[in-house]
Amino acid sequence: MQEQQTQRHLIVVEKSSDWKPEFPDYPVVTAREYLSNPDYGRRGITVLNLCRNFGYLTTGYYCSLLAEARRHRMVPSVRTLSDLTRKSIYSLDAEDLDDRVQKALKGEHATKFEIVLYFGRQEDPRLTEISRQIFDSFPCPILRVEFRREGRWSLNRVRPGNVAQLKGEQRVAFIQALEAYLSKPWRTRKSRGSSRYDLAILFNADDPLPPSDRKALKNFERVGKTMGFDIDIIGPKDYARVAEYDGLFIRDTTRINHYTYRFARKAEAEGMAVIDDPVSIMRCTNKVYLAELLRSNKIPHPRTLILQEGQLDSAEKELGYPIVLKIPDGSFSRGVFKAANRTELDEIAAQLFKESDLILAQEYLYTDYDWRIGVLNKQPLYACQYFMSKNHWQIVDHKTGGGFAQGRYRTLPVNDVPKEVVQTALKAANLFGDGLYGVDVKQNQSGVFVIEVNDNPNLEAGVEDAWLKDDLYRAILAEFARRIDAKRGG
């Protein structure tokens, strides 16, 4: 068994003396040897990077960086190393750990609690699930994890450990975890029946405004069967299942500080086809980034100012009233407000600055409807007109108490849309990547203006598919098939 495993794995250490005599007999090379010889290992092997230091531009960092170029599965990857340097991402990737941590560490009187993980394993049974989830978020052979209590327990720090510093029982625990890790396949795929592709669709049944309704999801499943897809609908609690599939399609409202971004990052790290990809989520969900990108690329858009506190006078002077105010990461008309005078401007801005250090002020362009051009892999896919809600200035009218009302819609062939609208939408979407985007465009006597580029556009039965019917679902699934085939071929 070990002989078979050694053909699939390679271990990199800083110095040959770091791999102790009692450690298992796996192929081990020094970092210097690995960096200087591009022919170490075939494509697809798993390389465990056990260097002493993973700081930026260190030997350990370069080993992980070159592994990606050589198509090796490196643990830890460059992305993991980058994430471990950003404390802000701990809450992002471990957001659902909070309740588990409180329960596990209940009764601990200290204000600091530390554990060491060896491939996600440690001895305290209270922390088994927590440890596994931390390792899933930050795959690294040895992790030193610190929890702190300031009223409530929280994940305070995660940093790589050093194999050269392991002593006695630590070495025993490391060896056991290493053997267990290497005895498992890199990824446990769900058993494939007659299907050619396994696709997971992430959907939150509790979301009041999901990008796709249940009927649309059923349409994906039905059409997918005719194209060789086995499609599973998964939810926010199915993070551990992501690696079972060939692709991930996110049909959930995406945000950065949210499990949807975590799912996307996991899928991308596993080498899966994923829409929305993490970069698209990061770019599209932040309106400050959008405003700067449109401005620097001369894409027509409403006059927009990026404001810090104390800059309301300039917004009033340059934009006039009414002024539209936005928080950077709102969606589905959330976090978007209209100020008709200085009193409203001051009140709204004061509330928004409590959520973000930067907000956007934008000139108000009224139209009866917004164009939505769906773009897939840099090509127009569908076109809709979304009309404003009755007696309201937005498409979605969010009511006090959580309810909402939506305006009517009209779907039509892309060829029937004014060419300038389609071309402008394409120019904007193509700045973000080659994923699936919904570009909102206003058109009036002065021209066309890009309002938003959405990374998870609506795909609802009877709305966006009203013209294309099953061809809408077929086009998206065909793109997934193309991407999966390309990854398999690679």
- Start-to-end CA distance of the chain, whole Å, equals 28
| Segments in the chain below pLDDT 70 | 1-7, 38-44, 69, 86-99, 104, 106-107, 184-194, 329-334, 389-407, 490
Q: What token pair was written down for 354?
A: 């409590």
Name the residue with tokens 């699936």.
Answer: 436
Helix (H) or strand (E) holding 169: helix 168-182
Grouping H, G, I as helix, E, B as strand and the rest as coil, residue 414 is helix
Count Cβ atoms below 10 Å from residue 42 Cβ, excluding itself.
12
Under DSSP, is residue 18 helix (H, G, I), strand (E, B) or coil? helix
pLDDT of residue 391: 56
Cα–Cα distance, 454 to 416 (Å, whole number): 22
Determine the residue type at 227.
M
Q: What is the pLDDT of residue 130?
A: 79
Amino acid 304: pLDDT: 87
Beta-carbon count within 10 A of 320 CB? 11
Question: 372 and 383 in contact (C-beta within 8 Å)?
Answer: yes
Q: How many helices (H) and strands (E) does the chain have?
A: 16, 22
Say yes or no: domain 365-454 is CATH 3.30.470.20.
yes
Spatial contact of 359 and 328, defined as CB atoms under 8 Å apart: yes
- Report whether CATH 3.40.50.20 matches the domain 197-278+477-489: yes
pTM of the predicted model, to two decimals?
A: 0.64
Task: Pick the closest to residue 118 from 72, 171, 158 (CA basis).
Answer: 171
**CA atoms of 204 and 311, how far apart (whole Å):** 39
Instruction: Note the pLDDT of residue 192.
Output: 52
Q: Which CATH number fits domain 303-364: 3.30.565.10, 3.40.50.720, 3.30.1490.20, 3.40.50.300?
A: 3.30.1490.20
Tokens 């941590």, residue located:
101
Domain extent listing, the chain: 2-182, 197-278+477-489, 303-364, 365-454
**Helix, strand, or coil here: 197?**
strand
Shortest CA distance to 260 belongs to which of 244, 243, 277? Answer: 277
pLDDT in the model for residue 227: 96
Same fold, 197-278+477-489 and 365-454: no
Identify whether the C-beta of residue 24 lies closer than 8 Å to the C-beta of residue 179.
yes
177-197 burial, b for 16+ CB within 10 Å, e for fewer?
bbeebbeeebeeeeeeeebeb
Phi then psi dihedrals of residue 368, to 5 deg: -65, -25
> Is 336 strand, coil or helix?
strand
